[in-house]
Structure 1
Amino acid sequence: MRFFAGLWRLAIAALCFVGTYEAWQRPVLWVYFTFQTGAVLGFVMLWAGAATILKGIQPPAWLKGVVTLYAVVTAVVAFLLMPPDDPNYVPQILGIMTNTMLHRIAPIMAVADFLLFDPHRRFQWHYMFSWLIYVPVWFAFVMGRAWLAPTLLGSGPAAGGNPYPYAFIDLKALGWQQFGINCLELAGAFFAVSLVLFVIDRIEPAKPLLG
């Protein structure tokens, strides 16, 4: 089972790297939350997979938890908030769109990895809050880039050169009031997911369910 778990994690890493390959060719795509977190998930799973097979040092619990958190958020956003991908524009590998790999398949596999292959009862209560540090940093990055894009950075990553990567944080279209409401709702959703992960970690047995 150890080798299966290791290969499972390496498969997640492969999906993440294939899913983000567009961003390596078009750096403007790194504005997207899912490309950033997907790449980090890939590197962490590469580490975890190699460590599992070679009986090496695993990623710290905090790091494994935070990439799982953002994988869940990525999947929720993809399934509930984003329009379906157009196969005429999204690259495909073996008939599967790369966005599907990054936004749906890899996150689902990462959650399964957390539930089945990870040891549990390792999360500290403050992880629920420290995991969220990246969210305001990313928002600040997006806002700063949107402010600089028209004069220094050229067009943005979204359709028509819009500097805001997602419609639900498009300040120009929403206005400050709705933008603020959306940010608060997103922050609440992030915290809710982090709380669920913490509770699951406490409920599950300390030893992995499989392995």
Structure 2
Amino acid sequence: MSDESVLTQSAGGITVKIAALLGWFALILQLYLILTSRWQGGKSLLGGVDIFFSYFTVLTNILVAVVLTCAATSGDSALRRFFLKPTVQGGVAAAIILVGLAYNLLLRNIWNPQGLQWVADELLHDVMPVLFVVYWWFCVPKGALQWRDVWPWLIYPLVYFIYALVRGHFVGSYPYPFIEVDTLGYPRVFINAVMVLLGLVVVSLVLIALDRWKGKR
């Protein structure tokens, strides 16, 4: 292996490590902000943890951070092998792209975060999606994805949607305005969910097409 190749691999490894650290930093910052707000308002910190894990953005960024951490570290374990499967990484890529698109198209204009909350928002919704797509393109082996991989990738958002509705029913709060049953009603919420899932299908098909194209090259 040439010195240039070694340097390139070394730089790539450092970049992935930085991306993983940035992902965990963004998540910790968001949790800190939620808990601080709850503390200042005299509310339950446990409720703040519940709110933190109620967001699809947070759960998906956790998956991103886990994948990047597995890629940035060595060792052999069943968990690491699972998260480094091209099909798993492809599914995570599709989900984090959905996070970025949904936020920028549907949510960005409905509130105006300031200060550290703005930093957390930008990291979770813009920076990490871009970093992970770049990682997926350059670091994940290509040519392994099949068109049928779309279907298992839909399981995660479907499970999340059910969880969000059940949680919202009991606590009276929903993480996103387009699934607020109390305001919109179940028919509208289900239509919104189908539209989001269709968006994920489109994103997934594009990723698979790119994977197969690059794999053939």
Structure 2 counterpart of 1:86: 113
1:62 aligns to what?
87
Verify the 8 A CA contact 1:5 1:49 in the aligned structure 2. no
Q: State how far apart, in whole Å, the 2-side matches of 1:206 and 1:46 are.
A: 28
Q: 2:71 aligns with which of 38, 48, 52?
A: 48
Cα separation, partners in 2 of 1:199 and 1:51, compared to 1, 3 Å: farther
Say whether the 8 Å CA contact 1:75–1:107 is kept in structure 2.
yes
Structure 1 segments (4+ residues) deviating >4 Å:
none
Match of 1:15 in 2: 22
2:59 maps to what in 1? 36
Q: 1:21-51 CA deviation, whole Å, 9 max, x = no partner?
A: 1337531211000000101110110111224
* 1:172 corresponds to 2:182: yes
Partner of 2:42: none
Aligned-partner residue type, residue 67 of structure 2: V
Q: What is the one-letter code of the residue matched to 2:157?
A: V
Question: Any gaps of 5 or more consecutive residues in structure 1?
Answer: 92-96, 151-162
Contact 1:9 1:48 in 2 (8 A): yes
- Alpha-carbon distance change, 141 to 51 in structure 1, aligned in 2, over 3 angstroms: same
Task: Tell me, in whole angstroms, the C-alpha distance in 2 between the residues paired with 1:147 and 1:177.
Answer: 15
Q: Are residues 5 and 51 of structure 1, via their aligned partners in 2, closer, same or farther at CA, if it must alter by over 3 Å?
A: farther
Which one of 201, 206, 209 corresponds to residue 211 of structure 2? 201
Residue 192 of structure 1 corresponds to 202
1:47 maps to amino acid: C
The answer for the alignment partner of 2:163 in structure 1 is: 141
Q: 1:127 aligns with which of 149, 153, 164?
A: 149
> Aligned pairs, how many?
187
Identity in percent: 23
Deviations 1:107-137 (A, max 9, x none): 1011111222222101133211111101110
Aligned to 1:76: 101
CA RMSD of aligned residues (A): 2.2
- Partner residue in 1 for 2:39: none
| Unmatched segments (≥5 aa) in structure 2 | 1-7, 36-47
Aligned partner letter, 1:111: V
Distance 1:169 1:38 in 2: 20
Inter-partner Cα distance in structure 1 for 2:134 and 2:26: 19
Q: Does 1:116 align with 2:143?
A: no
SS in 2 for 1:43: helix
Q: Distance in 1 between matches of 2:216 and 2:20?
A: 25
Provide TM-score, normalisation by structure 1: 0.81
Q: Secondary structure at the match of 1:34?
A: helix
Supply the distance in 1 between the matched residues of 2:66 and 2:212 (Cα, whole angstroms). Answer: 26
Q: In the alignment, is residue 3 of structure 1 matched against residue 10 of structure 2?
A: yes
Between the aligned partners of 1:138 and 1:50, the Cα distance in structure 2 is 29
